Structure 1
C-alpha cells in the first residue's frame, strides 16, 4: 500500500512556512513566503497560503496524488469546529472561514488549528513528548503560546481556545500587554521581555552591559533575542543574567500551571528555548521552589522541544492527516 503524505503550513508574524510530511514525521519538501502585512485583506493572506501549497505540490510532481490533506497552523483563536479563525492578531482575520475558502481553491481536505496546538502535537507524536499521557507545551517566542495534549488528544477547551497561558496575570498592575491587560506572564518570560530588559540595561549605560553594547556596533536595532542568547552562550555575564531572569519567570508560571493541571511533562519550545540550560536551569530551580506541595508530590519533567521552527509545520500536517481519517500508529 502506498504511504500517504500531508501538507502543513505554519503562519507566523513574518513568514508562512510549509512542508510535506510523511507518516514518520519527516519533512520531504519545503516552501516559504513572507507573511502579508496585517493591514492587507484576508484574500491576500489566502493567496499566499495557496501559493505555498501549490509550490509544495509542484515539488512533489506525480507524488502530489499521495497528499491526503492540508493542515494550517495560525497564531490566533480558532473555532471549536476547526473551521474559522476567530481572531489572529498578526493578520487581518476576524471570523475568517478559512477552512471553506481554502478547500474550494486547493481541492483537498483542510484542517485549521492554533499554531501552539500544532507544535504540541508534533512534540507528542515525534519529539520530546513521546509517551507522555499528560503533556503541556509552552512556546516562548515574541509572546507565550501553549497547548495541552491529554491521553492522545489536544485539549482545546469548551470554545476551542484553551492554552493562552501567556495571558495569565502574574503581576497585578504590571507591564502593559498587547492583549490590553497588565501583568501578563508573557510580559516577563518571552522574547519580547528579554529584549526589553536588555534595552533597559543599555539605556542606563550600565557598565555590565558594555560587551552587549559593543556587539550592537552602534545600531540598537541589532538587539534581538538570538543575539542576546548567542552572547550568553559565549560567556557574557549580563546576558546570562538576563536569560536567568526570564527562566525564573518561566519557572514561576510553570509552577502555577502544575498546580492547576498536574502534567507529567512540560515541553519548552519557541525561539527563546534555543538558550537551552541557560533558560531551563533557572526555570527548574524556581519551579522546585514555587511548586505547591513540593517534596510531597511527583514533579513533572521540564525539557526543551525537539522541533523549533519546524514544529508548527509538522504538527499541522500530521493533525490534518489524522482529521482526514488516516490512523495514528
Structure 2
C-alpha cells in the first residue's frame, strides 16, 4: 500500500498528515476538537482527511483516538476526554470518505510509530510508555501490537501501585499514573509550595510565579534544567516511581527496549537516571536475566500520526465471538 493518512485525535486538537511507506510525513493539516459533540468531532476529522485526500492519492486512513477501541479497530468503546461511547467511528468515516478507515488507541498508535520507524525500529519486543498528563502505553511482542481479546490491553498507567492511594480519573485508587505522570509532578510541586517550604518558594521564583496554582510541569522541568534543587528533587522522585513501575512492566512483557515518550520525557537525564536506578533496584531476579535498554522516543508528537497511518496498511483482526 502506498500513501495513507494518520490522524491523531486529542482532547483539544486533531492533527493529520499524509504518510508514505517509510514513515515520512508529507502534507499536514490541523483542526480544533469539538470534544463535547460526537457529530462535530466526526465532521472535523472528515474535513481534515478530505483536505488531504484531495491533494494526494491516499489509500486508507488510520485514526489514533484517546480511549478504548474495539478489537476490530472500528468502534470507540469509551473515551475519557471526548463524547464517544460505543461510537462506530471507523464505519462512519469510511462511509463518508469512501476509503478504508481503521481506528486505534492513541498510545498504541504512537508506540507502533516508534516501533516501526523510531527508537525501537531494530527490535521485535518493545514497550513504549507515554508520560504526559497521565501515562499511556503500548506493547509490541514478536513484531505484533498487543491489543488483547477485546482491544483494550496495555492500559499501563492504570496498573495499581499503591492500594488505597490517590483517586484516579478512571475511578480506581493508586494507579501508576497518579505517581509517575505530569499530573503527579505538578501535584507534588504545588503541595510543597503550599506547605511553606523555602526550597519550593525558591523554585516558584525561578519559574517567575508566586502562586502555586500557576505551577506547571514544563515550568518544573525548566527549573530543574537550570539546577533548582527542589525541581531536581521532584523529577528525581517522579523518576523513581517511573522506574519501579517499569520493573513490573518488564517482568510482565520481557521487552528488548523500553521507550519513554511524552511531554515529561523532555526532562531527559533528570528523569531517566533516577528511573533506571529504581528499575535496576526493583527488577526481580535482576542478576539472572537480561535487562532491557532504555531510550527516549525519536518521533516526538508525530509518533501518533505515523503509527496510525502505518496501522491503516495492516488488516484488522476479527472481533471475538
1:146 lines up with 2:140 in the alignment: no
1:21 lines up with 2:19 in the alignment: yes
In 1, the alpha carbon distance for the partners of 2:208 and 2:176 equals: 28
The answer for the alignment partner of 2:273 in structure 1 is 281
Residues 111, 128 of structure 2: 8 Å contact kept = yes
In 2, the alpha carbon distance for the partners of 1:50 and 1:263 equals: 37
Please show how residues 17-166 of structure 1 align to structure 2 within 5 Å: 17-37=15-35, 40-58=36-54, 60=55, 64-65=56-57, 67-166=58-157
In 2, the alpha carbon distance for the partners of 1:316 and 1:118 equals: 5
* Alpha-carbon displacement from aligned partner over 1:124-173 (angstroms, at most 9, x marks no partner): 11111012111111111111111111122101011111110111110111
User: Structure 1-normalised TM-score?
Assistant: 0.92
The answer for the alignment partner of 1:233 in structure 2 is 225
Residues 252, 287 of structure 1: 8 Å contact kept = yes
Moved more, 75-84 or 208-217: 208-217
In 2, the alpha carbon distance for the partners of 1:106 and 1:114 equals: 21
Which secondary structure state, in structure 1, belongs to the residue aligned with residue 71 of structure 2?
Answer: coil
In 2, the alpha carbon distance for the partners of 1:33 and 1:187 equals: 30
Residues 216, 222 of structure 1: 8 Å contact kept = no
Q: Is the alpha carbon distance of 1:201 and 1:17 closer, same or farther for their aligned partners in structure 2, counting shifts above 3 Å?
A: same
RMSD after superposition: 1.5
1:171 lines up with 2:162 in the alignment: yes
Moved more, 137-146 or 94-103: 137-146
Stretches of structure 2 lacking an aligned partner (at least 5 in a row): 317-321
Residues 194, 212 of structure 2: 8 Å contact kept = no
Residues 247, 282 of structure 1: 8 Å contact kept = yes
The answer for the alignment partner of 2:175 in structure 1 is 184
In 2, the alpha carbon distance for the partners of 1:154 and 1:192 equals: 27
Residues 9, 72 of structure 1: 8 Å contact kept = yes
Which secondary structure state, in structure 1, belongs to the residue aligned with residue 266 of structure 2?
Answer: helix
Q: Is the alpha carbon distance of 1:208 and 1:308 closer, same or farther for their aligned partners in structure 2, counting shifts above 3 Å?
A: same
Moved more, 271-280 or 84-93: 271-280
- How many Å apart are 1:216 and its aligned residue? 4.1
The answer for the alignment partner of 2:282 in structure 1 is 290
Which secondary structure state, in structure 1, belongs to the residue aligned with residue 312 of structure 2?
Answer: helix
* Alpha-carbon displacement from aligned partner over 1:79-133 (angstroms, at most 9, x marks no partner): 0011100001010000000011001111111010001111111111111101211
- How many Å apart are 1:220 and its aligned residue? 4.5
- How many Å apart are 1:218 and its aligned residue? 3.9
In 2, the alpha carbon distance for the partners of 1:146 and 1:280 equals: 17
The answer for the alignment partner of 1:317 in structure 2 is 309
**Count of paired positions:** 315
- How many Å apart are 1:55 and its aligned residue? 2.9
